[in-house]
Structure 1
């Protein structure tokens, strides 16, 4: 059971023969057959027009680009010309220009399918949005479980079959969390590597933009053709992974492990054992800064005042409209003193410097932890605000340290837990090592297998072909 890679799709489209239009029709049919609710806006007419333009260019002998005809869903935090931008709120935001990542995808020939659901203003990790709707996690055949947030519809759109790439944003984990929760791959690039233009901000300090895909191979290829710093000819992008022999993986003594449910920790430990068996060096490492970074993230001294400052400056009329799960959590952000905010930024830089120095001195390529410490909860269990807050904190706790420490990080499927929900393996690497981390993660995937081989097909998919 194998789906074609993104590189293979782009290659076939560039050869001509109407392949982009066939890809578009497949995406439309699978969306229309789905009840997962990934999208807030899906425009079949616009998809067909984009695909037709790609095929016409290919027929003329022009090169539409290395992502020609590849379908891409866009988180409704990104501006998209011709589609209202709501950012998960109760009404559309003012006009916002398209930014770096959407423009780059268009230039490379991608076909944009529509806007996927996000948590209101991306301020939440569960994926819940009472304003616009919460996508269904396809792995529970009975209950409506959280899809992970804040890029709530991203992973769901991949399983729906309407997109091969999903755009997300990641402040404290909003790409990696839904990737883990839905059994796909999600990568947080180094902070600042890609411009966040055209994206509604949450935290000017921590925001990143990035991708979710079914496989590391796909994500690595897409990243390399999109990345301004990749430094090689796009046409020769090579997705062949290096081996894991000699790879040094650090397992940190941290709450990221001890707070994980036993069944989740066991799945990730099993994946690491498989890597050790084929030559990876897996060693325990002292890394208390991970826990300290997480605590400082939850102190609310950085994200909350930056978020509130943006709202007060640019969207003051939206503040009274915030749903309580966002508004009440924003709480006392206005009471954060400037000195405390500056001290938090300084401490973040200090912790990051310590961690990077230790990774270098101990020659650690990657740090490995569970991505999420808990299974995605059923929405019925989150009806009380207190229960939601507890779940939200837990779902952020595994990913926010990497954000605070300026690490790039990827989540890939490690297996299924005792209730059949996906478990993510998070691999974290130094700032600026994005291409190396993606190559190492591809090597890991070559051992563990892709999500189809590792996890199988989600029970809610109507038929196996939807996963292809």
Structure 2
């Protein structure tokens, strides 16, 4: 069920938070894929659920989220657990002495922490394969095992499989929106700085963002408020919201699968019929970003190498996924002058693009292809890196330009797999983005 549906059951007295938490753990126990969660917090969850049940029964509920289950990506500090970031090399680190700031804020809203979800090692892949803790299988696949998308793989699968109504992920190059699109759920990447990053293991601090993966936009809005410490959402349904969007003609459709394009274009047609104004233009920054990466390297690899360089110099490097090591090592080629140039060019391109958009939102497919099969990627490094790059391409534009974005399911492509419709806004336009997404979600879904 969605967050809103569960909340109705709790506050109408049909089910208690304790019954819901018990049902969640029972579902996780019965679920055949044991790689979705890396740790469960049953004692904590049942205690939190009991406290929520008591508050609700006494008329002292903390709000609509009181008693609602939530899962956390294995990048967020949870008191009493080591934060492993999808890697075994961190498993012997000291346990966190307190929850990450955003985990604590959500706890204060009454939500019940179920556990931590699996992820790509060090959050450094859009595919979601993890050789250490296993790779969660995409629950939407009916033919062969398919990737979940990364790096918030377990968070997306936990929601898509119906194990929890919402899970929190991180997004540096698409790690919320990609698994949301692959699994046919909603994924909201907030503007950088909207939430506290205290207690969140980083990848590239100038790109890292947070956000919820959920069944509906409404759910994401409710949880967004809790993550900011707000007592209630400031995003409300507005039937007068007019959608004025730009669809890029360059970059995002290169090599796109026909099924993805058809599903996206069908959603656009529905939006246009509903009154949306749509303009197709070239966004020069997209070409400039691609050229910049070729000339000076990627911003994410430069910052990831600075973060992990000591781990790559000793025997511990042998315990890290070789594909992750290879990508991190690319950052060693980026000089200090290159890095400064990248940041300067980023600021210029961000400003120029904001002026070009003139307050409009941007729409394009979240990913140019549906979730690929797992097995071919395991046996072919070249195929893996090519697929990973293509998977991260569309969402990566938004990270570089500091956009906020929400991926909404808009149909299916090859093998009946989900296709995501990515709606994005410039930095700080989160309220406008979420208001518009809430208003037009049903139209986009069709």
Normalising by the residue count of structure 2, what TM-score does the alignment of the two structures yield? 0.92
Q: What residue in structure 2 maps to residue 180 of structure 1? A: 181
Match of 1:286 among 282, 287, 290: 282
Name the SS for the 1:153 alignment partner: helix
Give the aligned partner of residue 402 of structure 2: 406
1:324 corresponds to which residue? 322
Could you tell me which residue of structure 2 aligns to residue 112 of structure 1?
113
Q: 2:356 aligns with which of 355, 358, 366?
A: 358
Q: Deviation string for 1:105-140 (max 9, x for gaps)?
A: 111000111111110100110000111110010111
Q: From 289, 294, 304, give the equivalent of 2:301.
A: 304
Aligned partners of 1:239, 1:14: CA distance in 2, in Å? 21
In 1: Cα distance, 2:41 partner to 2:312 partner: 27
1:216-266 CA-partner distances (Å, limit 9, x unpaired): 1111222134335x7xx52x766535355x311111111202331122111
2:167 aligns to what SS in structure 1? strand
User: In structure 2, what is the equivalent of residue 425 of structure 1?
Assistant: 421
Deviations 1:303-338 (A, max 9, x none): 122112222468976544221110112224223211
- Corresponding residue for 2:3? 6
Q: Does 1:22 align with 2:23?
A: no
Displacement after TM superposition at 1:301 (Å): 3.9
What is the aligned partner in structure 1 of residue 256 from structure 2? 260
User: Once the 2 structures are TM-superposed, how far is the Cα of residue 292 of structure 1 from its aligned partner?
Assistant: 2.4
> What are the residue-to-residue correspondences of 1:130-209 with 2, within 5 Å?
130-209=131-210
Tell me if the contact between 1:294 and 1:397 (Cα under 8 Å) persists in the aligned partners: no
Quickly say closer, same or farther: Cα 1:259–1:73, change in 2 above 3 A. same
Instruction: Please provide the CA RMSD for this pair.
Output: 2.2
Q: State whether residues 119 and 154 of structure 2, in contact with CA within 8 Å, keep that contact through their aligned partners in structure 1.
A: yes
Q: Distance in 2 between matches of 1:243 and 1:371?
A: 26
SS of residue matched to 1:255? coil
Given that residues 71 and 162 in structure 1 are in contact (C-alpha distance below 8 angstroms), is that contact kept between their aligned partners in structure 2? no
Q: Give the paired residue count.
A: 439
Deviates more, 1:138-147 or 1:272-281: 138-147
Extract structure 1 runs of 4+ deviating beyond 4 A.
14-18, 236-239, 313-318
CA shift in 2, pair 1:216/1:294, >3 Å? farther
Q: Hey, what does 2:370 align to over in structure 1?
A: 375
Partner deviation per Cα, 1:381-421 (whole Å, 9 max, x = no partner): 11211111011001001100000001111111010113111
For 2:426 and 2:235, the matched residues in 1 are separated by 22
SS, match of residue 387 in structure 2: helix
Unaligned runs of 5+ residues in structure 2 are none
- Displacement of 1:68: 0.7
Runs of 5+ consecutive residues of structure 1 not aligned to the other structure: 455-468
- SS of residue in 2 equivalent to 1:283: strand
Q: 1:63 aligns with which of 47, 61, 64?
A: 61
1:343 aligns with 2:341: yes
Q: Offset at 1:42?
A: 2.2
**Are the equivalent residues in 1 in contact too, given 2:102–2:228 (CA < 8 A)?**
no
Residue 202 of structure 2 contacts residue 208 of structure 2 at CA under 8 Å; is this kept in 1?
Answer: yes
Partner Cα separation in structure 1 for residue 317 and residue 56 of structure 2: 48
- Structure 2 CA distance for aligned equivalents of residues 136 and 198 of structure 1: 28
Shift of 1:25: 1.8
C-alpha displacement of 1:155:
1.3
The offset of 1:153, in angstroms, is: 0.7
* Contact 2:153 2:179 (C-alpha < 8 Å) held by counterparts: yes
Does the CA-based 8 Å contact 1:297-1:401 persist in structure 2? no
Once the two structures are TM-superposed, the CA of residue 51 in structure 1 deviates from its matched residue by: 0.8
Which range is displaced more, 255-264 or 12-21?
Answer: 12-21
**Cα 1:295–1:56, aligned 2, differ >3 Å: closer, same or farther?**
farther
The TM-score with structure 1 as length reference comes to: 0.88
Q: Distance in 2 between matches of 1:6 and 1:239?
A: 16
The separation in 1 between residues aligned to 2:224 and 2:313, in whole angstroms, is 36
Please say if 1:240 is aligned against 2:237.
Answer: yes
